[in-house]
Amino acid sequence: MYDMSEKDILMKLNLIFRDVFEDETIVVNEETVSDDIEAWDSLEHINLIIEIENAFAFKFSMEEVSTLKNVGEIVDVILKKSKQN
């Protein structure tokens, strides 16, 4: 996986969020939390995780999935995992 900047990652995540929640108006940033998006329930949370894993070709750990607080932390995990590759 080539080096993506935080900005690139956020843009790509935004596309994923728009696809999963079927809402073209969504704009996510580092502070976005699940309360900000109405359809973001526990079922969609796992679905979202899987879609992000598939899009960026990596796997979250069990711990990461259960402790993620906002989109910013998702970006951090992706950055960390891409450096590991």
Partner 1 sequence: MENISFNELKKIAKKWEMKENTSKIALLGDCATQYLCVAIRGMCVKKRINADIWEADYDQIYAQIFNSESEMYAINPDYVILFFSSEKLLEQYETTDNTKRNCFVSEAMGNIEQCWKRLSQVQGLKIIQFQFVEIDDKVYGNYGNKIKNSFLYCLKTIQYQILEKACQYNNVYLMDLNSIQSDIGRNLFFDEKIYYLTKSTISFTALPLVADRTTDILRALQGNVVKCVICDLDNTLWGGTVAEDGMSGIQIGELGTGRAFTDLQRWLKLLKERGILLAVCSKNDQNTVLKVFRENSDMILKENDFAVFVANYEDKAANIKYIQSVLNIGYDSMVFLDDSCFERNLVRTLIPDIMVPELPEDPALYLKYLKDLNLFESASSSEEDVERTEQYRRESKRKELQRQFASYQEYLKNLNMEVTNSSFDPFHFPRIAQLTQRSNQFNLRTIRYTEAEIKKISQNRDYITQYYELRDKFGDHGLTGIVILKKIDRDALFIDTFLMSCRVLKRGMEEYIMNHIIQIAKKNNCIKVIGEYIPTVKNGIVKNFYNDMGLRIHNKNQWIINVNEYKNKTTEIKEKAQ
Q: Please report the DSSP string for 13-47 in residue order.
A: HHHHHHHHTT-TT----TT--GGGSTT--HHHHHH
- b/e map of 55-71 (b: 16 or more CB within 10 Å)? ebebebeeebeeebebb
String marking each residue 31-70 x if it binds partner 1 according to CB under 8 A? ------------x--xx--xx--x----xxxx--xx----
Is residue 20 part of the contact set for partner 1 (CB under 8 A)?
yes
29 binds partner 1 (CB under 8 A): no
Shortest Å distance, C-beta 71 to partner 1: 18
The residues binding partner 1 (CB under 8 A) are 19-20, 22, 43, 46-47, 50-51, 54, 59-62, 65-66
